[in-house]
Amino acid sequence: MFAIAASSGASGGGTVTARGTGVAPPVVPGERGAAAPQKGRYKKQGDTCVWDANDGGPNQCTPLVKGRFKKGANDSCTWDPDDVGDDQCRPLKGRWKKGDGNSCVWDANDGGPDQCNPRQLK
């Protein structure tokens, strides 16, 4: 299990992490148990885990970090840990960095190439 912590401002700043903490991750469509079936699931594509909104059935994988960047008012770009799908934007500043263990952390105050892929298979 892992937890996702996000803190973001209008520019998408903040930190997004995935690490083992024993805290349950947010509920994602398609993972609600016996409730009405939801369309969409996580599928393996090579060494990544992506959301396919047009498919059904059980998830084939779990991404290292659940969530995505979403466009907001006034061209803001913020992290939504409870949403699935492709990123709608990417903050102008920041990058994904390797964290403790097998975590992938968004650092809004750092630059350069990403050190990890949040869509990597968990």
Closest CA to 1 of 37, 25, 35: 25
pLDDT at 16: 57
- What's the whole-model pTM score? 0.65
Average of per-residue pLDDT values in the chain: 78
20 φ, ψ to 5°?
-70, 120
pLDDT tens digits for range 10-64: 444 555 544 433 333 444 444 444 555 568 999 999 999 999 999 999 999 999 9
pLDDT value of residue 19: 41
Choice between 81 and 13, residue whose per-residue pLDDT is larger: 81
